[in-house]
Structure 1
Amino acid sequence: TSTGTTAGTNKGSINAQTISLQNQVTSLTSEASQIALTNNNELQILIQQYAAAEAAATTASTTQAYLSIFSSSGSTSKG
């Protein structure tokens, strides 16, 4: 019957749309996982860069303090 054919066609169309939507959900889940992984990697790089900058600043501060001992202790004023 034509009603049975129409129902079968509609069922097939709905099934195809459902599969398409499920594939999109799977794709979005995969994309979200990839974004999270990328963000985590970038965060780890940022942490390493911050630690290196902090260490360099500490070294510079220590060097400056050490050099200031020599520049301030032996100074004489001429007049």
Structure 2
Amino acid sequence: MRNVKRIVISLLSLLLILVILAFVLENQQSAKLLFLGWSGPEMPVSILIVAALLIGMLIGPLLGWALNRALKAPRKPLS
């Protein structure tokens, strides 16, 4: 049973790697990002999407942690 679990995890990991590789190879055209007058360098679309994903993966948990902390903070009674 333990070996079956390892094989399934290995196959799923390999499939994920192949999907990511196919995505990167299919999205090699260059794009320039413009935001509030700031112009970024031309990069492949896949790099921009992966960067946005990673930034979101960092910001999301940080906002959740901050909100959870704010809700658990002791409140002073109104007098």
Structure-1-length-normalised TM-score: 0.41
More helix, by proportion = 1
Structure-2-length-normalised TM-score: 0.41
More strand, by proportion = 2
